[in-house]
Amino acid sequence: MTATPDLATLTGDYTVDPAHTTIGFTARHAMVTNVKGKFLDFTGTLHLDGTDPSRSTASLDITMDSIDTGSPDRDGHLKSSDFFNTGEYPTTTFRSTKAESLGGDDYRITGDLSILGTTKPLTIDLEFNGAAKDPFGNERVGFEGKAEIKRSEWGLTWNAALETGGVLVSDKIKLNFDISAIRQA
């Protein structure tokens, strides 16, 4: 698929802007509601190739102690050895291995997600939200993405049975990404 000339002008290296990016997740809690959370400390880079999107790459490093679900007690439990064991595994990483254009503003990026020392493939569907020059002269691009994982595949197996049946925390976790990245000079 040939990229439009506008996309070709976006070719370059970008740094994820943490002040305007959200790396979040949603988990089913007690089989009845969703709990949402996000990570507050992360770094990331993108290399965009607007002429040949398959040559684009992405990397992300997330500081697991920065988890925020709006509940300090829950955050503390998530940092413990029951879940992320942040003392031993302080960082989760994603490194892309493949990028593809799906047509229009839709893209897919596949890569290696490492959690708790376990690395498995992850595919993220992305929508290109656009590009703009901000009031400070920065050239920005934006993407919105989503993926689903089974946390047990990365060794996140802690749970508690409910009296009414089911479990406290779902195995399926929805990941969401709202990414703003600044072009490097």
The full DSSP string for 18-47 is GGG-EEEEEEEETTTEEEEEEES-EEEEEE
Average pLDDT over residues 114-124: 97
Q: Is the pLDDT of residue 45 over 90?
A: yes
What Cα–Cα distance (Å) separates residue 163 from each residue in 51, 75, 95, 117, 122? 56, 24, 41, 33, 34
Burial of 78 (0-12, 13-18, 19+ CB in 10 A): buried
Name the pTM for this structure: 0.91
The single residue listed with the structure tokens 């595919």 is: 123
Task: Give the residue, 158 or 30, on which the prediction is more confident.
Answer: 158
Q: Is the pLDDT of residue 150 over 60?
A: yes
- Give the torsion sign (CA, 41, 84, 68, 176): positive
Q: Is the pLDDT of residue 66 over 90?
A: yes
Q: Is the pLDDT of residue 2 over 50?
A: no
Q: What is the pLDDT of residue 1?
A: 41
pLDDT digits (tens, 9 = 90+) for 78-87: 999 999 999 9
Q: What is the pLDDT of residue 3?
A: 43
Burial of 103 (0-12, 13-18, 19+ CB in 10 A): exposed
Average pLDDT over residues 47-59: 94
Can you give the length of the chain in residues? 185
3-state SS, residue 49: coil
Q: Is the pLDDT of residue 29 over 60?
A: yes
Average pLDDT over residues 113-129: 97
Element (H, E) at 120: strand 118-133
Among 19-23, 58-62, 75-79, 101-105, which stretch is predicted with the lowest mean pLDDT? 101-105
Average pLDDT over residues 37-61: 96
Tokens of 65: 């102690």
Burial of 137 (0-12, 13-18, 19+ CB in 10 A): exposed
Average pLDDT over residues 117-123: 97
Cα 178 → chain centroid? 8
Tokens of 109: 């990026």
